[in-house]
Amino acid sequence: HGATEMDEVGAEALPRRTPAPAWLPTAKGEEGDFCLRSSDCAAGLCCARHFWSKICKPVLREGQVCTRHRRKGTHGLEIFQRCQCAEGLACRLQREHGPADASRLHTCQRH
């Protein structure tokens, strides 16, 4: 009877392979909608962690604060992820007038 148990497990796993959960509209996710990956979101949005789920958030524009990942492993622990900077922008340390490390803020800046 081992084979029948395997069949049941196989059938159980099947629905997960569908591209989108049944409750997700086929339209691209708007800001704040749940998502699995950035391709689920409308243009200009990315899929990022928000608490323990993931939602579509806006891609960062010039001058917005961004997250600089020094070590690849650390961003897995973030509860509030930010999107990357938009095309043509890089996440760089903001050079403010004032004490050298007054803010240590990274913002999206033109290359």
The fraction of the chain above a pLDDT of 70, given in percent, is 61
Domain boundaries, the chain: 33-71+79-110
Residues 62-81 as b/e (b if ≥16 CB within 10 A, e otherwise) read eebebbeeeeeeeeeeeeeb
Compute the average pLDDT of residues 3-20: 49
pLDDT at residue 26 greater than cutoff 70: no
Is the model's pLDDT at 13 over the cut of 60? no
Tally Cβ neighbours within 10 Å of residue 35: 22
Residues 83, 59: Cα–Cα separation, whole Å? 5
pLDDT band at 14 (very low <50, low <70, confident <90, very high): very low
- Measured CA to CA, the distance from residue 110 to residue 107 in angstroms comes to 10
- What is the C-alpha separation between 37 and 26, in angstroms, rounded? 14
The model's pLDDT over 65-111, given as tens digits with 9 standing for 90+, comes to 998 766 665 555 678 999 999 999 999 998 766 565 556 789 999 98
CATH class assigned to 33-71+79-110: mainly beta
At residue 81, the pLDDT reads 92
More confident: 91 or 1: 91
